[in-house]
Amino acid sequence: MEDQEIRKAGLKVTAPRVKILELLENSEQRHVSAEDVYRMLLSANEDIGLATVYRVLTQFEEAGLVEKHHFEDGHSVFELNKGKHHDHIVCVTCGRVKEFVDETIEDRQKKIADELGFQISEHDLVIYGKCLDDACERKP
């Protein structure tokens, strides 16, 4: 269960942590903000404070359970760590997010960092555009 993962991360097993991890694993959307999580918890009648949501997500990030990304629209989004790196393409209209991996891009970045004298630690690549999905429309 989730209990094991939480324990393995060096954290005590508490109701909020279990609920949030469950939620991330079962969520329709892979990429969710802290507010998204908070609202989902409210819908599920879970009495968990917003501060706790931020705290737990941050702890999960530090433990490597989740990753945090900054998209342009303002707030951070979190996603379960799948283990393999990927980048994102985001629809500027409907917010849909897709993931991709391109080894060529990855390799070029290593080369660039090398040439410019940087020991690369990570990178963020986000492509923004308009998706061609039929149901694409601005969110309320």
Partner DNA sequence: AAATAAATTGAGATACCGTATCGTTGAGAG
Partner DNA sequence: CTCTCAACGATACGGTATCTCAATTTATTT
Give the interface with a copy of itself as residue ranges (CB under 8 A): 70, 72, 89, 91-92, 98, 100, 102, 104-105, 108-109, 112-113, 116-133
* Residue 113 vs residues 11, 108, 110, 120, 121: alpha-carbon distances, Å: 35, 9, 5, 6, 10
Of 42-50, 80-88, 104-112, 120-128, which part binds DNA (CB under 7 A)? Answer: 42-50
Q: How far apart are the first and last CA of the chain?
A: 36
Of 50-58, 79-87, 94-102, 115-123, which part binds DNA (CB under 7 A)? Answer: 50-58
- List the Cα angle 31/41/91 in 5-degree steps: 25
Q: From DNA, Zn ion, a copy of itself, none, which one binds at residue 126 (CB under 5 to 8 Å depending on kind)?
A: a copy of itself
Q: From DNA, Zn ion, a copy of itself, none, which one binds at residue 125 (CB under 5 to 8 Å depending on kind)?
A: a copy of itself
39 near Zn ion, rule: CB under 5 A: no
Provide φ and ψ at 103, rounded to 5°: -65, -35
The DSSP secondary-structure symbol of 133 reads -
